[in-house]
Amino acid sequence: MTALEVLTRAANAPRAAAPRRGEMLATVLLLGGLAAAPLVASRASVNDLGQALCLGLFAISFNIIFKYSGLLSFGHAAFYGFGAYAAALLLQYDPGVPLILLIPATALATGFLGLLLGHVCVRREGAYFSMTTLAIGAFFATAALKWSAVTGGTDGLDGFMPDTLSVLPFWPLPSPTISQTYWLVLAFLLPAALAAWAVLELTPFGQAVRAVKQNETRAIFLGHDAHLIKLANFTLAAALAGLAGALWAVDNGFVSTDSIDLSFSTTVIIAALIGGSQWYWGPLIGAIVYIAASDWLSALTPHWQIWLGLAFIAMVLAAPGGIAGIAAWVWRNTVARDG
Amino acid sequence: MKLKTKFLATFAAAALAAAPPPARADNSPVVFVAAIIQSGPFKVTDAQNLAGIQFAVRQINAAGGVAGHPIQLDVIDTELNAAATKRKVTDEILSRNAKVIIGASGSDVLKALVAVGQQYQVPVFAFAGEADDMTGPKFQPALFRIAANTSMHAAAIVYAMKQDYPGTKKVFLLNQDYSFGHESETGFKTALQRLDPDVQIVGSVFHPRGAADFSPYLQQIQASGADFVLTSDWGADLIKLLNQANSFGLKPRIGGTFLADPEILKGVGTGAIGDIGADVFQPTIETSRAQAFDRKFHAANAGTATPWATASVGKSYIATELAAYAINQAGSTDFGKIEKALEGLQYASIAGPLTVRACDHQVQIGEATGEVVPANNKPYAFPFIGPALIAPLSAIQVPPAATGNPRCVAGTN
């Protein structure tokens, strides 16, 4: 079994038969918990959670291609990094630009980039798609490294965050606290993620995307333009990744090549699969767990990456549904069986 | 009733936990956080820096700590990743009340540290991260840099070349193709123009980082007729360059800003004899203070992965020592008071007398240069840098007006 097949096994894992009721309850608990976190968690935890949210939205965007179109991207960080650099450069150019314009504009620009690149990528599937996205990811990572006049090269971009953040045209936010920044990130993240969820789960477009994934030939016979549908889904994922990158730039106040390099494209795959690719919000859980686990393990041992890697392999082999899959199994065998 | 008692006990425990902590006891530690690469292929680079910091902390604590408090050293793994570093060091400040940050290899990682330091008013003492602009146009007061900047480091190599190879007429510049390599090339050119204007630059080439084969560049160097090669290559690239230059039979010697490192030279052997390195500190500085430091460090670290003092050990030791000295001078861990104590501070370090320039917080000190000499067990059993020749500050200093830092240009020296 090739590595690609092992990873794809997670995308094709049987969908948990847990009832919608369980998923809805988990979603409400998760999103409510995230919104209330600054009220109960320490400032350090909120700081970590802010970064985890950005990685989480990025992982959701990766999973939109992986789960709904069955395509494994190895270069998704290109869109995240593009969004991060674009937001940083726009703030550098005009520190007074309101976030309500900056963040959506960055997402739209990244979506447009996704539309252009997706036109090439989604023509092929399997390893060909993965390798094409890998090449695109490598191109953007190299460009960020080499085009130092714009990106700052290895030094990155810093000092672009204004002292007073403009949220709305007439709503300045002087020296935002960690909690305020966190809620700002959440205020952009949640509507965007929920909108994407609604599009994919509640609209005929979402059904068409799933139909193309399940049997492309049959979908074409039914009158769907498979290429266009995959391209639209790819564009949607790219836009969300760009939005995550822009939010990360605002939350972090610093952008470097870490946000666009190839290893970050791997990190997002790990986060998505740890959380569980079959539940829409699973990758968000995976991102939180990934950051918490990497910080905790790195404080314990310099060899933490080995342990994290072993845990990931064990998860893919034993529980391809990830944390969400385990939770669904527990739900099915306890609450759902009793009720 | 029992349930009510249990509830009240739980409530009382929760209220106690939420209550503000008692006033800090006199012997409560001051947390220093060291940002070190502890995982990945660059781990070796920072092992020396960590050894220097740990040695300094042990000595400072043995002497009574800082302002009457012992130092608690927390180490975070930067992963050579700016975002992870920023997250971890912020956690250290918010949850552990860290008062000093010491770091870090990688200019982007150092910038992340400075961004956090600036936000929470915690000083950052830098043993590495040489980008000129950090103390220049992009200066942030939280940064105090012990490492030389790129221009000073390049100038020290050019100075040593002029002293050790006075007959040099033609030089070739070979650097890695990324922002640091380009900045170093500019530094070499500026230093040559200032220190040795008669020397002709017969070629300048940038190679990709991680290049496997240097023979095309070696052929260019040979064909150019250069007498000397200046490079800012580091790590595996520098080892490959030196080894392949030796196999190729390259005649001109090499001056490298990161050459004076036992991790580099032990892998090259006799092929490096005659090459030149430079840094703020060298274990071969022949002052009694430096020699005493070497002996004490070896006595404490014999049998470890870093048995002898190195350039990195020295810089990270000075960074830690300077942080402690500043807190003692300020009598407080308050950033404003530490900054005031440091600006313009003159201090007798193990590498010699240094000054913390007030306008840009760049430590001003001459650099210890040296030529690789045959193995003499001083201290290594392989060819290493010989007796240090100090490139004086006057030869390598970047004048305040040339830094691009508005405070320096305005005349705050």
Q: Give pLDDT tens digits for B267-313.
A: 888 889 999 999 999 999 999 999 999 999 999 999 998 999 999 99
Least Cα separation, residue B50 to chain A (angstroms)? 13
pLDDT at B23: 43
pLDDT at A164: 87
pLDDT at A2: 54
Strands B346-349 and B384-385, how do they pair?
A: unpaired
- Residues of chain A with pLDDT below 50 are 1, 16-18
Averaged pLDDT for residues B108-135 = 92
A289 within 8 A of A323, measured Cβ to Cβ = yes
Q: How many helices (H) and strands (E) does chain B have?
A: 14, 16
pLDDT greater than 60 at residue B24: no
Q: Please, which residues 3-62 of chain B have a Cβ atom closer than 8 Å to chain A?
A: 38-40, 43
Percentage of chain B surpassing pLDDT 70?
93
B149 within 8 A of B367, measured Cβ to Cβ = no
| Cα–Cα distance for residue pair A141/A118, rounded to 1 Å | 18
Instruction: Note the CATH number of domain B151-279.
Output: 3.40.50.2300
Residues of chain A positioned with their CB less than 8 A from the CB of B95: 42-44
Q: Please confirm whether the linkage preceding B379 is cis (ω < 30° from 0).
A: yes
pLDDT at B219: 95
Percentage of chain B surpassing pLDDT 90?
75
Averaged pLDDT for residues B169-196 = 92
pLDDT at B6: 46
Least Cα separation, residue A258 to chain B (angstroms)? 6
Please, which pLDDT band fits residue B211 given cuts at 50, 70 and 90? Answer: confident
- Choose among B81, B84, B180: nearest Cβ to A154: B180
pLDDT at B234: 87
pLDDT digits (tens, 9 = 90+) for B348-368: 999 999 999 999 999 999 999
Averaged pLDDT for residues B15-36 = 67
Residues of chain A positioned with their CB less than 8 A from the CB of B179: 148, 152-155
A103 within 8 A of A91, measured Cβ to Cβ = no
B357 vs A: CB within 8 A = no
User: Rounded mean pLDDT of chain B?
Assistant: 90
pLDDT greater than 90 at residue B51: yes
- Residue intervals of chain B classified under CATH 3.40.50.2300 are 29-148+285-362, 151-279
Please, which pLDDT band fits residue B376 given cuts at 50, 70 and 90? Answer: confident
How would you class A314 by CB atoms within 10 Å of its CB: exposed for 0-12, middle for 13-18, buried for 19 or more? Answer: exposed
Residues of chain B positioned with their CB less than 8 A from the CB of A145: 178
CATH class of segment(s) B29-148+285-362: alpha beta
Q: Where are the domains of chain A?
A: 3-338
Q: Do B83 and A252 touch (CB under 8 A)?
A: yes
pLDDT at B20: 43
pLDDT at A6: 52
CATH 1.10.260 describes domain A3-338: no
Residues of chain A positioned with their CB less than 8 A from the CB of B133: 155
Mutation pick from A58, A91, A254 vs chain B, by most beta carbons of B within 10 Å, is A254
pLDDT at B117: 95
pLDDT at B22: 42
- Choose among B76, B82, B178: nearest Cβ to A256: B82
pLDDT at B17: 42
